[in-house]
Chain A
Amino acid sequence: MNEAEGIDDLTLQAFLDGELDRTRAAEVEAWLNAQPAHKARLREWRAHDQVLRAVFDPILTEPAPQNIRAAAHMAASRFFAAPRQMLLRAIAASLLLAFGATAGWLARGHFAVDAGRGGLTATIATRAMDAHMVYAADLRHPIEVPATEHEHLNAWLSRRVQQHIAAPDLASAGFSLLGGRLLADGGKPAALFMYEGPNGKRLTVLVAQNIGHRVADPKLSTRDDLKAMSWTEGPLMVAVTSDLGSDRLRGIGEIVSTSLKGKG
């Protein structure tokens, strides 16, 4: 319709929304003066926008309902009223220097979550899911040491976690090892093994020290699409995380458990 001037509906709309630079806006304005029909249409758009604002703006000054204020307030007080967690954050911050910025960033996530509730496996599951979200989504650098350096990977992580650990072989479940990385888990070194399955689906196995040799049976935790299977394995705490179905994940959990028992 207005090809000659290059002024179409989208340009007209961008003019209305203040998305044009000054020169272009002036051109549109001049053009509109000779186009009463388009000018009228623009006026209607503007009028409808104004009505929408008039209807929705009063919501801004309404007092927020109690449940929303409670949600914001509760989380804030949980955060500030926990000096122990502040201390853990300080430890995490110092580990940051040793383990690099990404591990520290992850550690922040650990302490944003209330680690005191929900039992042992619930907390490791939370941390495992945090780790999975951060690292499994990283297409370029999901790992520090690749599976091709298998021996070095196992030796290095075993030394840091102070337990004999070997990356479980999940080939029978269709997952191949990409490699692993060291994590700061609750202020202690932990190992994260990353696997890739069909269609590039990622699965992570978090292995941490089980301080005090507590005992916890396998437990399934979910967060949106993610599921974590977590349990204790003698001196180790283990969590397997992926967005697989719970039966599949449980099956893989059994393979991991058998494998860690054999080597640990």
Chain B
Amino acid sequence: MRDKLVGEIPYLRRFARGLARDRSRADDLVQECVERALTREHLYDPSRNLRTWLFTILRNLYLNKIRDERARPVVSEAKFDDLLAAPPGGSQFDVVLARQVLTAMEALSVEHREVLLLVAVEGLSYRETAEIIGTPTGTVMSRLARAREQLRIQIEGGPRSQIRRVK
């Protein structure tokens, strides 16, 4: 587990950034997650995917953190800004669209944002995602659809999207 853990750090950092948005907050979460995973190694079932186990720990840490913060006077909401500070090179990358997508991501609730991150960015299956967030697969699917539609409506804007919305 310890050998493999180091290889999971990049994925933990990516998921943490999507959750916490701010870089240093995200990295603090990853550090805590690594420490916790090592002291709880005995709770790790080797037949289980290491990444989903680690993601579960990381997500719980994040949820505890925002719950604690809500109890206190709130600090201003973190933004994804620094992700756009150095946009990846290449003409394929549309900075305007990227900014729109990230702004729309910031507007999503945690429960919608996390499923979109796990499926679209981390490439996990619905089943793995359900395991991490502790819900049935059906809940993952409906939250994901909701997240994608909210993103689409906010980026497209206007009534055209409203009309086309199914359900």
What residues of chain A have their CB less than 8 Å away from a CB belonging to chain B?
1-2, 8-10, 13-14, 17, 19, 37, 41, 44-45, 47-49, 51-62, 64-65, 67-69, 71-72, 75-76, 79, 105-106, 108-109, 112-113, 130, 133-134
Given the known inter-chain contacts A9-B167, A64-B10, A71-B34, please indicate yes or no for A14 contacting B141, CB distance below 8 A: yes
With CB as the reference atom, state the residue of chain A lying closest to B41. Answer: A112
A56, B18: Cβ atoms closer than 8 Å: yes
Counting chain B CB atoms within 10 Å of each CB, the highest count among A53, A56, A65, A106 belongs to: A56
Instruction: Give the size range of B's interface with the partner.
Output: 35 or more
Measured in the bound complex, the distance between the Cα atoms of B142 and A40 in whole Å is 20
Which of B9, B38, B80, B155 meets A112, CB within 8 Å? B38
- Judge if B69 is at the interface, Cβ distance under 8 Å: no
Contact between chains at A10 and B141 (CB < 8 Å): yes
Q: B84 to A55, Cβ gap below 8 A? A: yes
Main secondary structure of the interface of A (DSSP, over half): helix
Closest to B35 in A: A71
Chain A proximity of B139: nearest CB distance (Å): 11
- Known: A1-B166, A19-B126, A68-B9. Is A52-B116 also a contact (CB below 8 A)? yes
Residue of A nearest to B80 (CB): A55
Interface centre among A44, A49, A55, A106 (most CB of B within 10 A): A55
Interface string of B68-87 (1 = CB under 8 A from A): 00000000000010011010
**Chain B proximity of A171: nearest CB distance (Å):** 32
Q: Chain A residues with Cβ under 8 A from B5's Cβ?
A: 72
CA of A64 to CA of B12, assembled, Å = 10
Complex partner residue of A55 from B10, B83, B141, B151, CB under 8 angstroms: B83
Contact string, B117-141, partner A, CB cutoff 8 A, digits 1/0?
1011100011000000000000001
Q: Majority SS of interface residues in chain B?
A: helix
Say yes or no: is B152 at the interface (Cβ < 8 Å to chain A): yes
Other-chain residue from B14, B86, B141 in contact with A13 (beta carbon distance below 8 A)? B141
Q: State the CA gap A134–B167 with chains docked (Å).
A: 45
Beyond A9-B149, A55-B101, A112-B42, list 19 extra A-B contacts (CB 8 Å).
Answer: A9-B145, A13-B144, A17-B126, A37-B164, A48-B120, A48-B151, A51-B98, A53-B120, A55-B98, A58-B86, A60-B10, A61-B10, A65-B27, A71-B35, A71-B38, A72-B5, A75-B34, A79-B2, A113-B39
The listed residue (A44, A58, A71, A106) touching B156 by CB distance below 8 A is A44
Query: How far is it, in angstroms, between the C-alpha of A187 and the C-alpha of B80 when the chains are bound?
Result: 50
Identify which of B14, B31, B149 contacts A71 (C-beta below 8 A): B31
Contact residues in B for A52 (Cβ distance below 8 Å): 101, 105, 116-117, 120-121
Query: In the complex, what residue of chain A is closest to B29 when comparing beta carbons?
Result: A68
Residues of B within 8 A of A62 (CB): 10, 13
CA distance A17 to B122 in the complex (A): 12
B125 to chain A, nearest CB (A): 7
